[in-house]
Amino acid sequence: MTFKRGMRRVALFVGVVGAVAGGVLSYIVIDGLISEQHRYDKFEQLSRIRIVQDMRNLLRTEKEHGTSGSLGAKGSSDGTGKQPSGPPPPGTEFIPNPGVSRSEWRDA
């Protein structure tokens, strides 16, 4: 066997080993990306639920107005702790809070 033929074999072997190593490493990276995409899709499905959108809009409104009454106070948004009763005040709508022992009125 000549030197030239030996170098060809070594180069072929190194190329095959490099291709296999590249395939394994790219699989590891792609697997992480696929699982991340799956988690993001689940998050998007959750964010499309109506109650989540309502809560996000409520929090956005509170942030814009600089208030935290509807989530920070116990019982009612005015901080008195009293449950709303009677007909709604003009220009407001009733917002029930499922799973919470209180419900509130907010501006429509």
pLDDT of 8 reads 94
- Whole-angstrom distance, CA of residue 25 vs CA of residue 9: 24
The confidence band for 89, taking pLDDT boundaries of 50, 70 and 90, is low
When pLDDT is averaged across residues 81-102 and rounded to a whole number, the result is 62
pLDDT exceeds cutoff 50 at 72: no
Q: Measure Cα distances from 88 to 38, 56, 84, 85, 98 in Å.
A: 43, 23, 8, 8, 19
When pLDDT is averaged across residues 25-50 and rounded to a whole number, the result is 90
DSSP helix/strand/coil, 96:
coil
The confidence band for 60, taking pLDDT boundaries of 50, 70 and 90, is confident
Q: Does 1 or 29 have the greater pLDDT score?
A: 29
